[in-house]
Structure 1
Amino acid sequence: MRAAIAIAVLALVVATSAIHHDIYAYPAYKYSYGVADKHTGDQKSASEVRDGGVTKGSYSLVQPDGVLRTVNYIVTPHGGFQAQVINKGVAGHPAIYGHHGGHHLGGLGGGRGLGLGGIIG
């Protein structure tokens, strides 16, 4: 009888140990990437670092109006997601790709080269 009780207690200790000592990977990584296409003007980048419960990162892109937008952020268990947005530059009209005035809009410009200004205004 004592042997059966000892085996039952030992099985319970082993099962409890397995529950309380789960093995998991520590959350840590680092990545970054970027694009700089001279033909299309597409420029963007991103990077992020995680160490445990804290993640820090940033991303930036050149918007169609020419303004560089950069977002820096941090994520913490207690503070949540916090971001800072920085815009640099003066907004201008985006470059229009095409050779036939208003025809790049499917003929909506009446062929007069008015573009969106002729449609809207």
Structure 2
Amino acid sequence: MFVKVVVVFLVMVGAALAFPHAPVQQPYYEQQPLMPYEFGFGVQDKYSGQNFGQRERSDGRAVVGSYSVDLPDGRRQTVNYKADKYQGFVADVSYTGQAHHPYH
């Protein structure tokens, strides 16, 4: 009986080694080619004082864009950015205007 179990085990191991294994699949997002796109939006609400927007475009390899927002202290913050799979996300943040307390 023991010999039969050993023989069956060796046959199964031999069969497993004889047939190639399925390749490891890449994640779904890496399988699909990236498509170029471009979009933008802006919001300016005089009642609430909200003023912000964004623009972004991609050629399928890298994403380039910027967004800006009016801050409560009176300045405007602008972020220009670029992202790709080699350098990652790189941002340049700048401010325009003079900061002041809203109640003075």
Is TM more than 0.5 here? yes
Higher relative contact order (CA 8 A, sep 6+): 2
Question: Is it true that 1:54 corresponds to 2:62 in the alignment?
Answer: yes
Q: Which runs of 5+ in 1 are unaligned?
A: 1-22, 96-121
Q: Once the two structures are superposed, what CA deviation does each residue of 1:11-48 show, in whole Å capped at 9, x if it has no partner? A: xxxxxxxxxxxx94542111100011111211001011
Bigger helix share: 1
Which residue number corresponds to residue 80 of structure 1?
Answer: 88
Question: Is it true that 1:65 corresponds to 2:79 in the alignment?
Answer: no
Q: Which runs of 5+ in 2 are unaligned?
A: 1-30
Question: Is it true that 1:27 corresponds to 2:29 in the alignment?
Answer: no
Q: Give the CA deviation at 1:51.
A: 1.1
Q: 1:76 to 1:24 in 2, by over 3 A?
A: closer
Q: Give the CA deviation at 1:94.
A: 2.6
What is the TM-score with the length of structure 2 in the denominator?
Answer: 0.64
Distance in 1 between the 2:34 and 2:86 partners? 19
What is the TM-score with the length of structure 1 in the denominator?
Answer: 0.56
Asked whether the equivalents of residues 43 and 53 of structure 2 are also in contact (C-alpha less than 8 Å), the reply is yes
Query: AA paired with 1:29?
Result: Y
State the secondary structure of the residue aligned to 1:75.
strand
Distance in 2 between the 1:36 and 1:47 partners? 15
Q: CA RMSD in A?
A: 1.6
Q: Where in structure 1 do 4 or more consecutive aligned residues deviate above 4 Å?
A: none
Identity %: 38
Asked whether the equivalents of residues 80 and 92 of structure 2 are also in contact (C-alpha less than 8 Å), the reply is yes
Asked whether the equivalents of residues 34 and 61 of structure 2 are also in contact (C-alpha less than 8 Å), the reply is no
Bigger strand share: 2
